Amino acid sequence: MELLWKLIVLLSLVERLAGSGVLLRPVFTKQPGSVVFPIQPGENRREVVFSCEAQGHPPPFYRWKLNDSFIQPIPGSRYSLMGGNLQISNINKVEDVGIYQCLASNSFGTIISREASLHVAYLENFKTQRRSPVRVREGQGVVLLCGPPLHSGDEDDEESFELAAEELERKILEAIAITTFD
C-alpha cells in the first residue's frame, strides 16, 4: 500500500515537472558515426544522413557544424534537418568532406556530439588521350608506364577501399591492353 502511494506521488510529480518550466538538460540518445561514401561513376543518389537525437525539457533543437562552422540547412540548399538528423544530398568530394558534429540545445544549455568524419572514396577515369605505339624487337623487354587516375579512399574502410582497388586494377589492365595493341 505504501508503495502504491509512493508511486502515485512520484507520477504526479513527474507530470508536474513535464508541464512546468522545469529544465532538464539535453542528453544524447543517438550520435553520428563516421561515414566513407563511395562515389561510383553514373551513380545519381549521392546522399548521406548523419543521425543525432537528444532528450531534454524543453525538447532540444539541433544545429550542425562542419569543421567548426555552422551548417545552414536552408530550403534549396543540399542540407536538410529531419528531427536531429542531417541529410546531405548531392555529395561533393570537395565541399562535404570533414568533421561533423551535432549540437542539441534547450534553455538549460547546449551539448555537442562526438566528431563524425565524412570521407569520399572515388576513382576518376584515365586520361583518354591515345598513346603513341611502342615498337619492340622480338625477345626484348619493354616498360609501359601507367599512372593511376585521380583517386581517394580511406584504407580503414575495407569494403570501399577494396572496391576502389579492384576498379583501379581493372582500369590499369585496360590501359595496358590499349597501349599494347595500339
Ligand X SMILES: *[C@@H]1O[C@H](CO)[C@@H](O)[C@H](O)[C@H]1NC(C)=O
Binding site for ligand X (CB under 6 A): 66-67, 95, 97-98
Measured from the CB atom, the residue of 103 and 120 that comes closer to ligand X is 120
Query: Contact at 8 Å (CB) between 119 and 130?
Result: no
Closest to ligand X by CB, 7 or 99: 99
171 contacts: CB under 8 Å, gap ≥ 6 = 123, 125, 126, 149
Give the up-direction half-sphere exposure of residue 161: CA atoms within 13 A in the CB hemisphere. 8
Q: How far is the CB of 64 from ligand X (least distance, A)?
A: 13
For ligand X, the nearest residue by Cβ is 98
The nearer residue to ligand X, 97 or 178, going by C-beta atoms, is 97
User: Cβ closer to ligand X: 56 or 154?
Assistant: 154
Query: DSSP E strands: which ranges in the chain?
Result: 24-30, 35-38, 47-50, 53-57, 61-66, 69-70, 79-82, 85-89, 98-106, 109-112, 116-123, 151-152
**Shortest distance in whole angstroms from residue 90 CB to ligand X:** 14
CB of 93 to ligand X, least distance (A): 10
Q: How far is the CB of 95 from ligand X (least distance, A)?
A: 5
Residues contacting residue 18 through CB under 8 Å, at least 6 positions apart: 57
Query: Least separation, in Å, of the C-beta of 113 and ligand X?
Result: 17
Distance CA 23, CA 7 (A): 22
CB closer to ligand X out of 57 and 119: 119
